[in-house]
Amino acid sequence: MSKAYVEELLERRGVGIESIADIVFHLQHGYYPDLTLEECVESVRAVLQKREVQYTLYTGIALDELAEKGLLPQPLQALMEADEPLFGVDETLALGITSVYGMIGLTSFGYVDKDKTGIMKQLNRKDQGVHVFLDDLVAGLAAAASARIAHRNEGAKHYPTPPS
Ligand code: MG
């Protein structure tokens, strides 16, 4: 199991790395005018390297695919088919990805989830299959990659040491 496999898995579900990077760019270019799409792609790939992120993706995507095949036990199958707004487990799972990079990731996650930026809109169309988990996983990945960029840039600044 590797980063390449996770990219393949996302691709199979209709999500290219570039479409996640597009959301990252949208979130961060206002703060970093020199930011390039390539840096955003690189940041998404760095997030995908974390094993806990990979495991989270396997779990959420498996549940989406099982729901598409009608293979989940009830009432979970019905909840997933309806994409019940109060379900909440999809967001809870995806927040695991975001929390890897602290609070900035958390606020970005909420924003992407509400704003339905880029590919998020596509994933929220009900006629395109079951994406109960995938939309939140994409938001989580974008938020984490975005927080990672913010942390790296803040890390480059030098602050005076506080008086002891
Ligand atoms: Mg969802």
Cα-based angle 3, 40, 131 (whole degrees, multiple of 5): 60
Q: What is the spatial distance between Cα 50 and Cα 48, in angstroms, rounded to a whole number? A: 5
| Peptide bond connecting 75 to the previous residue in cis, omega within 30 degrees of 0 | yes
Q: For residue 105, how far is its CA from the centre of ligand 1 (angstroms)?
A: 17
CA of 154 to the centre of ligand 1 (A): 31
- What integer pLDDT is reported at residue 2 of this predicted model? 65
CA–centroid distance, residue 31 to ligand 1 (Å): 28
Residue 104 CA, ligand 1 centroid: distance in Å? 20
| 91-119 pLDDT, tens digit each | 999 999 998 888 888 889 999 988 888 89
**61: amino acid identity, one letter:** I
Q: What's the gap in Å between 130 CA and the centre of ligand 1?
A: 9
Q: Model's pTM, two decimal places? A: 0.91
Which amino acid, one-letter code, is at 38? E
Tell me how far apart the alpha carbons of residues 68 and 137 are, in angstroms, rounded to a whole number.
Answer: 17
Query: Residue 99 Cα, ligand 1 centroid: separation in angstroms?
Result: 17
CA 131 to ligand 1 center in whole angstroms: 7
Dist. CA 146–CA 149, nearest whole Å? 5
Q: Where are the alpha helices (DSSP H) in the chain?
A: 3-12, 17-28, 37-48, 51-68, 76-82, 89-98, 103-115, 119-123, 134-155
Express each pLDDT in 3-24 by its tens digit.
689 999 999 999 999 999 999 9
